[in-house]
Amino acid sequence: MTTPTAKIIFDTDPGIDDAMALLFIKASPALDLLAVTTVFGNSDIDTTTRNALYLKQRFGLTAPVFQGTDKPLTRPRNPSPTFVHGENGLGDVELTGLVAAEPEAKPAHQAIIDLARQHPGEITLIAVGPLTNLALALQADPEVAHLLKAVVIMGGAFGVAGKPGNVTPVAEANIWNDPEAADQVFTAPWFVTAVSLDVTTQVVMSPAYMEALEAGAGPAGAFLNAISKPYSAFYGGRDGIVGCCVHDAAAVAYVVDPSLFQVRRGSIRVVTEGIALGQTCQKVEGELFGPSAWDDQPIQAITVGVDAEGLLDLYRRTMITAG
């Protein structure tokens, strides 16, 4: 199934899996991409913005690219995970046809605010990197939380299934890269769904799956297969996975077809100090405790189950039909 066309802002730190998600957005008839906003994370901000502009140029995206923040709200930036995404952020594949380009002059957080005001109640913000641009938008204009239709993030790990963390035993990378921003986002009065490691680590694109994409999805499929190879090598070496996990594209799939997922509702807080830095913790709706930091916070959703085959089929059909 597909939803009616949804207006999308894509906040991203490309990133191999970010590229997989961005090309999925472009290919999906259910989505109308209004803007790409970049953030530090998988690489420094100059590299993630360059990669977004490259993907826009090479694959014919029409949405403008707005550069976001280069560092977390309050703490030093963590080193870029070049051992996962490569020095160039896209698996160190050759960026064929790369042409120097500049993002729009407006900063990413202001673009989010302005677009939300232009299309009140219509835009879903999909965020697949650190959540700093979202927190900056909230700080600059708190009303933005009431103007967006929804916020869907790839981030967090809640210990329900899959891995409880991928950068520490309890923390997922996007949240760990700016836990203060993440806590602000989860406690703001917009509706957030966290597509977490609990489900994304259950969906694996095998080498055969990627070869089929290359065969059927045109130039985008060939590019995705190429960048997946070093990504798969990382997962094979660390986790023994044959293929690569679908992380950021799973957040896009949630917007296209939420029936692929099971969710659990409750208030969410993020640990911002100590050995559990970046851990995401949900108080399930209806559970009773004494006074706590979860009291009187917005009810958000996390993903706790996924139809893995259905998600892989959705991605494959969408890319091949477009290709």
pLDDT digits (tens, 9 = 90+) for 127-186: 999 999 999 999 999 999 999 999 999 999 999 987 789 999 999 999 999 999 999 999
Q: Is residue 62 very low, low, confident or very high in pLDDT (cuts 50, 70, 90)?
A: very high
Centroid of chain to Cα 104? 21
Position 235 scores a pLDDT of: 78
Among 84, 74, 14, residue whose Cα is nearest residue 44: 14
Omega before 159 within 30 of 0, i.e. cis: no
Statement: residue 118 has pLDDT above 60: yes
Residue 94: which residues within 8 A CB-CB, separation 6 or more? none
Mean pLDDT of the chain: 95
Please indicate whether residue 247 is annotated as part of the active site.
yes
Reduce the DSSP state of residue 126 to 3 states and report it. strand
Catalytic residue among 13, 183, 198, 248: 13
Q: Which pair of tokens denotes residue 266?
A: 């409750």
Rounded distance between C-alpha atoms, residue 284 and residue 300, angstroms: 10
Q: Is residue 198 very low, low, confident or very high in pLDDT (cuts 50, 70, 90)?
A: very high
Statement: residue 268 has pLDDT above 60: yes
Statement: residue 254 has pLDDT above 90: yes
Rounded distance between C-alpha atoms, residue 216 and residue 162, angstroms: 30
Centroid of chain to Cα 240? 23
What are 66's strand-pairing partners?
37, 104
Position 83 scores a pLDDT of: 80
Among 36, 91, 20, residue whose Cα is nearest residue 314: 20
Position 225 scores a pLDDT of: 95
Rounded distance between C-alpha atoms, residue 130 and residue 173, angstroms: 8
Position 323 scores a pLDDT of: 87
Q: Are 23 and 220 in contact (CB under 8 A)?
A: yes
What mean pLDDT comes out for the span 297-322? 98
What mean pLDDT comes out for the span 305-323? 97
Rounded distance between C-alpha atoms, residue 99 and residue 214, angstroms: 24
Rounded distance between C-alpha atoms, residue 17 and residue 40, angstroms: 15
Q: Is residue 21 very low, low, confident or very high in pLDDT (cuts 50, 70, 90)?
A: very high
Position 161 scores a pLDDT of: 83
Position 2 scores a pLDDT of: 43
DSSP state, residue 186: H
Q: Is residue 240 very low, low, confident or very high in pLDDT (cuts 50, 70, 90)?
A: confident
Rounded distance between C-alpha atoms, residue 215 and residue 213, angstroms: 5
What mean pLDDT comes out for the span 80-108? 92
Q: Are 68 and 38 in contact (CB under 8 A)?
A: yes
Statement: residue 11 has pLDDT above 50: yes
How many residues are present in the chain? 323
Instruction: Write out the H or E segment, with its range, that includes residue 307.
Output: none
Q: Are 119 and 133 in contact (CB under 8 A)?
A: no
Task: Give me the residue label for tokens 């990413």.
Answer: 108
Reduce the DSSP state of residue 15 to 3 states and report it. coil
Q: Is residue 4 very low, low, confident or very high in pLDDT (cuts 50, 70, 90)?
A: low
Position 239 scores a pLDDT of: 77
Q: Which residue has the higher pLDDT, 60 or 82?
A: 60
Rounded distance between C-alpha atoms, residue 270 and residue 276, angstroms: 9
Position 1 scores a pLDDT of: 43
Burial 126-157 (b: 16+ CB within 10 A, else e): bbbbbbbbbbbbbeebeebbebbbbbbbbbbb
Catalytic residue among 17, 18, 247, 307: 247
Position 321 scores a pLDDT of: 97
